[in-house]
Chains A and B, each alone.
Chain A
Amino acid sequence: ETGVTQSPTHLIKTRGQQVTLRCSSQSGHNTVSWYQQALGQGPQFIFQYYREEENGRGNFPPRFSGLQFPNYSSELNVNALELDDSALYLCASSSRDIPAQETQYFGPGTRLLVL
């Protein structure tokens, strides 16, 4: 069973640029959630995708957007990067089709630095 993978592992961008982060969900999972973890903080929920549709969003501006593909992999896109977007971006996969709260399994994260 393949775990959750994310790419790239590290990324450096400048203010105003755009970035795309990628996540491959664990085998058998159809739900992907994205979190932002700033230095010294707990992860903050950005949004979740279930079967290619957005299924819940946290308190993040519209320049944070996402996609989920038919194979349940996902992308997080951030436009007009700001310095405060520097953080570890975590992807988590789960399966909503099992009738109980499903555990979210996290990838290793992508560390984004905005200069």
Chain B
Amino acid sequence: AQSVTQLDSQVPVFEEAPVELRCNYSSSVSVYLFWYVQYPNQGLQLLLKYLSGSTLVESINGFEAEFNKSQTSFHLRKPSVHISDTAEYFCAVSPHNTDKLIFGTGTRLQVFP
């Protein structure tokens, strides 16, 4: 079985400050890793994903995440956040032999001016 832990339910931060949203997972099989973002009253949008290759993956809007197999982590980082980054962020894993996504409980990023 797989599980995803997002330790921080809420992360308040000031605009232009750096941020890290933590994600740890547990799985007995190899998994793919994802970060999705959910803006208020909307569905989920893919932010970035790790399938294979370089362990550092980047999104088009400045977020990056690094897959750390030994620590079973996939933390999301951004060096300088904007007000528009305020949203709920979900980490998810998908076992290699399925297309099922297992989500964490989410981290609410609140960016203040």
Residues of A within 8 A of B (CB): 4, 6, 31, 33, 35, 40-45, 48, 55-56, 58, 90, 92, 94, 96, 100-109
Residues of B within 8 A of A (CB): 4, 32, 34, 36, 42-46, 49, 51, 90, 92, 94, 96, 98-106
By Cβ-Cβ distance, the 10 closest A-B pairs, closest first, are A42-B103, A106-B44, A106-B43, A108-B43, A101-B32, A45-B100, A109-B43, A42-B105, A43-B103, A107-B43
- Inter-chain residue pair count (beta carbon < 8 A): 63
Cβ of A43: which chain B residues have Cβ within 8 Å of it? Answer: 44, 90, 101, 103
Q: How far is the CA of A94 from the CA of B49 in the complex (A)?
A: 15
**Given contact pairs A42-B105, A101-B51, A101-B94, A56 touches B99 in the complex (Cβ within 8 A):** yes
Contact of A103 among B49, B90, B104 (CB under 8 A): B49
Q: Least Cβ distance of A23 to chain B in Å?
A: 11
Q: Least Cβ distance of A9 to chain B in Å?
A: 9
